């Protein structure tokens, strides 16, 4: 029996049904027991609270960091980490991009896309037509926080096309709640989704572009140049590629009513290939063996 604990994970996190627990059940082929940190063989922690500081102080040797924020994992000095960073930090870190959590890898009803649906929805070309895009509204923006230059760009974008905004910042919610399924359903009605990352760093790619592509609208995204290692550059518009907003504005004005061209972009797959968990499984297995032996 492998005993694990979770500390400072986000609201709604299911300790017995998540990508870490589900991988461990498979690779160790034994019962995984969720317990308190002092009783655990491995203490998984993240940073949505203050209790992880106690974990690092009292149980550093058996701690394992999961980091979804744009922060470098090596500053926490945990023995091992899963994060979005490409850097392995001397073999202590394995890359787990945040968008991987949107896939229901083990068919346990988490994420937004079942693993068997990844290929038809995100690897194969789509089937949108010009008529499909002629029926859509211009653009939707869905976010809660005004990080970075997000609001400045949002205001400029409104000068080009109609942008409907949802989120706490705009005091406007969906009719049926805030979950990601409702978010994706709402986005289906639009040509574009304005969905910049909060901040930039190689490997820090969250659910934003992923959700837009699942919804069938074109992401107006903002991520640095390494993003094309994860997402195909033909399937989204990256604001990072434009020196000035005026250049992006000119392009958007040219294409926003070219429904044939919009359908062509929307039909471009998000992913280069079907993703897998093999490297992550191998890293978790070897890392945990080192911790418990």
Give the model confidence (pLDDT) of 43-71 as tens digits. Answer: 999 999 999 999 999 999 999 999 999 99
Distance CA 119, CA 11 (A): 30
Q: For position 65, which CATH number holds?
A: 3.40.50.11650
How far apart are the C-alpha atoms of 21 and 15, rounded to whole Å?
A: 7
Which of these, 199, 188, 175, lies nearest to 140 by C-alpha position?
188
Report pTM: 0.93
Phi, psi of 130 (to 5 degrees): -60, -40
Q: Report how far residue 214's alpha carbon sits from residue 83's, in angstroms, rounded to the nearest whole number.
A: 23
Residues 142 and 104 reside in one and the same domain: no
Q: Roughly what angle, to the nearest 10 degrees, separates helices 245-255 and 150-157? A: 40
**pLDDT grade for 17, boundaries at 50, 70 and 90:** very high
Contact between 78 and 56 (Cβ < 8 Å): yes
Q: Tell me, yes or no, whether 132 and 31 share the same domain.
A: no
**Predicted local distance difference test score (pLDDT) of residue 178:** 61
In a domain, 150, yes or no: yes
| pLDDT score recorded for residue 177 | 58
**CATH number reported for the structural domain that contains residue 212 in this entry:** 3.40.50.11660
Shared domain for 149 and 104, answered yes or no, is no
Residue-wise pLDDT for 197-253, tens only, equals 989 999 999 999 999 999 999 999 999 999 999 999 999 999 999 988 999 999 999
Query: Kind and range of the H or E element at 32?
Result: strand 32-34
**Full residue range of the structural domain in which residue 247 is found:** 125-266
Residue 148 pLDDT grade (very low, low, confident, very high; cuts 50, 70, 90): low
Q: How many helices (H) and strands (E) does the chain have?
A: 10, 13
Does 144 share its domain with 78?
no
- Is the same domain home to 179 and 240? yes
Structural domain total, the chain: 2
**Dihedral of the CA atoms 78, 68, 242, 194 (nearest 10)?**
-170
Helix-strand-coil percent breakdown of the chain, rounded to 5? 40, 20, 40
Closest CA to 102 of 112, 89, 94, 92: 112
Question: Are both 260 and 136 inside the same structural domain?
Answer: yes
**117 in a structural domain:** no
Residue 271 in any domain: the answer is no
Lookup result for tokens 């789509």: 126
């Amino acid at each position: 029996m492998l005993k694990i604990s979770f500390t400072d994970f986000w609201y709604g996190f299911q300790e017995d049904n998540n990508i870490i627990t589900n991988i461990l059940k498979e690779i160790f082929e034994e019962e995984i027991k969720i317990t308190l940190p002092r009783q655990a063989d491995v203490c998984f922690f993240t940073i949505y609270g203050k209790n992880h500081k106690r974990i690092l102080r009292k149980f550093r040797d058996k701690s394992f960091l999961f980091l979804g924020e744009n922060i470098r994992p090596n500053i926490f000095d945990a023995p091992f980490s899963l994060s979005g960073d490409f850097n392995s930090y001397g073999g202590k870190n394995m890359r787990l991009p945040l968008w991987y959590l949107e896939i229901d890898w083990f068919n346990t009803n988490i994420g937004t896309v079942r693993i068997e649906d990844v290929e038809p929805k995100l690897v194969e070309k789509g089937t949108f037509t010009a008529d499909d895009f002629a029926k859509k509204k211009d653009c939707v923006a869905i976010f809660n926080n005004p990080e970075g230059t997000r609001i400045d760009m949002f205001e400029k974008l409104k000068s080009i096309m109609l942008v409907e905004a949802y989120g706490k910042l705009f005091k406007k919610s969906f009719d049926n709640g805030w979950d990601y399924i409702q978010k994706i359903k709402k986005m289906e009605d639009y040509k574009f989704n304005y969905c910049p990352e909060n901040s930039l760093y190689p490997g820090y790619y969250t659910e934003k572009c992923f959700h837009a592509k699942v919804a069938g609208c074109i992401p107006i995204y903002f991520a640095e140049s390494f993003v094309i290692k994860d997402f195909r550059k033909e399937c989204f518009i990256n604001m990072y590629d434009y020196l000035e907003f005026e250049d992006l504005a000119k392009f958007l004005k040219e294409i926003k009513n070219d429904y044939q061209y919009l359908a062509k972009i929307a039909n471009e797959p998000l992913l280069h290939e079907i993703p897998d968990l093999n490297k992550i499984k191998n890293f978790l297995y070897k890392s945990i063996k080192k911790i418990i032996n």
